[in-house]
């Protein structure tokens, strides 16, 4: 199959947000008098949504305060979401390679859409991705297929000719739900064993390995 479209997850796939998320969580925890977390602890907690992140960061016996912590976290993060965030090594080069070959690119994330759009434009510019779809009122989230399928329709792309690249089980499941080829990345927030029954079509350790998948399948055609 010759692919012409790539959908990317954002956090843990295109960009490393651990330090900004960790710093924000620690500021929120500090307001409640709770112990701080390290970046390594933060990394393990990420990848399953904000509620899980906040619950994991709260000490035992205080999990019931998750809604309060989430509210404070959101307020702080809105002003600090791109202080230390950066693309993973090799990602800018991969995106340039894809654009040079005419690939249609988009971001599909469960992160707030407005914040995601600002981050993507600040880090990658405004002419790399044809769409950035994130969490928004009235729109479903991954692993529901709706957001990705809506973006593919907007781009004029077919699921069968699309690669869905991400670091979490929700990304692998979304790819299957949409009929895309799922590519799981090793450099993100989740470990392979955490995927459970969600098996990706491909696993890559470095961004440039996505080129090999594309070229290999082009030769097969």
pLDDT digits (tens, 9 = 90+) for 151-203: 999 999 999 999 999 999 999 999 999 999 999 999 999 888 888 888 999 99
The domains of the chain are located at 5-16+85-220, 18-77
pTM of the model: 0.93
- Given the candidates 3.40.50.1000, 3.40.50.300, 3.40.1190.20, 3.40.50.620, the CATH classification of the domain at 5-16+85-220 is 3.40.50.1000
**Predicted local confidence at residue 220, as pLDDT:** 56
Q: How confident is the model at residue 38 (pLDDT cuts 50, 70, 90)?
A: very high
SS3 for 205? coil
In the predicted structure, residue 221 carries a pLDDT above the cut 60: no
Give yes or no for residue 140 having a pLDDT over 90: no
pLDDT score at 91: 98
- Provide the annotated active-site residues: 9
β-partners of residue 202 are: 183
Q: What is the CA radius of gyration of the chain?
A: 17
Is 157 in contact with 132 (CB distance < 8 Å)? no
CA 68, CA 63: separation in Å to the nearest integer? 10
What 3-state DSSP class applies to 211? helix
User: Which tokens hold the place of 204?
Assistant: 């890559």
Question: Hey, what are 72's tokens?
Answer: 């404070």
């Amino acid at each position: 199959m010759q692919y012409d479209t790539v959908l990317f997850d954002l956090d843990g796939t295109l960009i490393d947000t651990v330090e900004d998320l960790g710093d924000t969580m620690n500021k929120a925890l500090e307001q409640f008098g709770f112990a701080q977390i390290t970046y390594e602890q933060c990394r393990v907690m990420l990848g399953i949504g904000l509620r899980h992140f906040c619950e994991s960061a709260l000490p035992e016996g205080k999990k019931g305060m998750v809604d309060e912590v989430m509210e404070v976290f959101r307020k702080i993060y809105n002003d600090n979401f791109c202080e230390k965030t950066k693309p993973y090594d090799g990602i800018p080069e991969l995106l340039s390679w894809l654009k040079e070959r005419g690939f249609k690119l988009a971001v599909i994330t469960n992160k707030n859409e407005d914040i995601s759009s600002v981050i993507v434009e600040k880090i990658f510019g405004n002419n790399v991705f044809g769409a950035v779809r994130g969490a928004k009122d009235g729109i479903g989230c991954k692993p529901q297929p709706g957001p990705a399928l809506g973006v593919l329709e907007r781009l004029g792309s077919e699921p069968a000719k699309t690669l869905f690249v991400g670091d979490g089980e929700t990304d692998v499941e979304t790819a299957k739900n949409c009929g895309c080829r799922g590519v799981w990345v090793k450099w993100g927030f989740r470990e392979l064993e955490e995927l459970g029954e969600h098996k990706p079509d491909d696993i890559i350790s470095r961004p440039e390995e996505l080129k090999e998948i594309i070229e290999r399948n082009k030769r097969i055609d």
